[in-house]
Amino acid sequence: MNSSNEKLFQAILTGDKDQAVQETQVALENGVSADSILNESLIRGMEEVGQLYENGEYFVPEMLISARAMKAALDVLRPLLVESDVKPMGKVVVGTVKGDLHDIGKNLVAMMVEGAGFEIIDLGSDVSPEEFVEAIKESGADLVGLSALLTTTTPMMEKTIQAIQEAGLRDRVNIIIGGAPITPEFAEKIGADGYAPDASRAASLVKKMVSS
Ligand code: B1M
């Protein structure tokens, strides 16, 4: 890895947003391609952050500040990635289901999945089954991520999956679910394709599903 990419990688690990933006600009000025910056520094940096989280060395706040630094660097790169026609690894629609306003965990999932190289269509919180269906149709998403934090809103996950099925879109998308009250057994019971306990594992699961 060249030294600009290495410095940016370190800025992502330490969650230093200003330095991440600055190092992205320096790397571009040094002629490093947007593609290389994305893969060598941002995606690799977020993979490392995910690993540190899974090993218990990082916690949610560290993961959040790293994800924020990654997003800031990505804002600098985005127009160049569009120009150079670098394709995302896939499109992912995410949202917290209807009736549920908790969005902190969902935002973290969205940031980690974006950090893994995917385009995110974030519908926010309190999202109805119809809104999910519409977003899948409009975006041509490969995968849908549903989040719920309340035991009372978990049945809405099943309703959302049913609505996707009834709209004839079920074969087109993988569906993963997560949130504090969710278990792998519940995911299987309601017909989701997968479950992740945290944002880092959600990003790994999305990568695995879309590439298989
Ligand atoms: Co609420 N709330 N809340 N709340 N709130 C909980 C969830 C609760 C456990 C608190 C408690 O009673 N101990 C409880 C739920 C009990 C239950 O149903 N079992 C609760 C309640 C009852 C309520 C209200 C009903 C309170 C009231 O008004 N009487 C109300 C409901 C409003 C509504 O949604 N309709 C309410 C409101 C709120 C606030 C608005 C004040 C605020 C939300 C602000 C926001 O999100 N913008 C809030 C908060 C902050 C919490 C707690 C304190 C923290 C949640 C959080 O952000 N955690 C929470 C108690 C707690 O957890 N200690 C609580 C941090 C976040 C990073 O973790 O969201 O779990 P988490 O996400 C993780 C994983 O779950 C996973 O990855 C994330 C990161 O690694 N994950 C996924 C999440 N989504 C995923 C999707 C995936 C994969 C993984 O794939 C797609």
pTM, 2 dp: 0.89
> End-to-end alpha-carbon separation of the chain, Å?
28
pLDDT tens for the chain, residues 1 to 212: 678 789 999 999 999 999 999 999 999 999 998 888 988 899 889 889 989 999 999 999 999 999 999 989 989 988 888 777 778 899 999 999 999 999 988 998 998 899 889 999 999 999 999 999 999 999 999 999 999 999 999 999 999 999 999 999 999 999 999 999 999 999 999 999 999 999 989 999 999 998 87
Residue of 49, 102, 103, 121 to test ligand 1 pocket, by largest number of atoms within 8 Å of CB: 102
Predicted confidence at residue 133, as pLDDT, reads: 98
Radius of gyration of the chain (CA): 17
Alpha helices in 84-153 (DSSP H): 104-115, 129-139
Which of 54, 106, 149 most suits a substitution to test ligand 1, by most atoms within 8 Å of the C-beta? Answer: 149
Q: Cβ distance 84 to 36 under 8 Å? A: no
Q: What is the pLDDT at residue 24? A: 96
**Cα 138 from Cα 62, distance rounded (Å):** 34
Closest listed residue to residue 81, CA positions, set 133, 128, 119: 119
Index of the ligand 1 atom closest to the CA of residue 145:
91
Contact 77, 24 (CB under 8 A): yes
Q: What is the pLDDT of residue 1?
A: 64
The 8 Å CB, 24+ separation contacts for 26-29 are 27/2, 28/76, 28/80
> What is the per-residue pLDDT for 159?
98
